């Protein structure tokens, strides 16, 4: 029986092809990891720029909606996104409404208009985070009523 000769061109071509595939695969997964890191950073920045606020009403006869920033006590109005409000678990609830004393996180471009009261424009997402206690709600209601007298 004759021994077959090794086809060196085939062996070298196969090794080069395998090396090229391994190299392409490693660059692909490196790019995927970098993109995932960029997305995580953007989400963290988006979360950091969100405003935590409490939803309140003001006015004697016609109740008007107002939000009070939980950190700065700054008051502003904003519209609820058309998509709806997200609940605590991050599930979108279409047609949901806020009740006085609801604490929410408001996501958007963080720009307030010069209106009185200021209006938070371009709200992209709103998420209910909790409910205020009666004591907290009373404190914010007092703040809102004091400021509302100046607006009217």
Is pLDDT above 80 for 148?
Answer: no
Torsion of CA 56, 70, 137, 66, to 10 degrees: -10
User: Mean pLDDT in the chain?
Assistant: 87
pLDDT exceeds 70 at position 128: yes
Does the pTM of the predicted model rise above 0.75? no
Q: Which residue has the tokens 């205020």?
A: 132
Q: Tell me the per-residue pLDDT of 22-59, one tens digit each, with 9 for 90 and over.
A: 999 999 999 999 999 999 998 888 888 888 999 998 87
């Amino acid at each position: 029986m004759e021994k077959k000769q090794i086809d060196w061109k085939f062996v070298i071509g196969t090794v080069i092809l395998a090396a090229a595939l391994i190299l392409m695969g490693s660059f692909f997964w490196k790019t995927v990891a970098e993109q995932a890191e960029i997305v995580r950073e953007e989400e963290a920045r988006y979360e950091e720029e969100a405003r935590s606020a409490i939803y309140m009403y003001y006015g004697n006869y016609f109740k008007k909606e107002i939000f009070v920033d939980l950190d700065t006590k700054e008051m502003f109005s904003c519209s609820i996104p058309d998509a709806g409000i997200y609940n605590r678990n991050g599930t979108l609830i279409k047609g949901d409404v806020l009740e006085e004393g609801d604490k929410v996180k408001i996501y958007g471009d963080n720009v307030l208009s010069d209106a009185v009261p200021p209006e938070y424009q371009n709200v992209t997402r709103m998420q209910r985070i909790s409910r205020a206690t009666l004591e907290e709600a009373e404190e914010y209601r007092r703040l809102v009523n004091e400021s509302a007298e100046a607006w009217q």
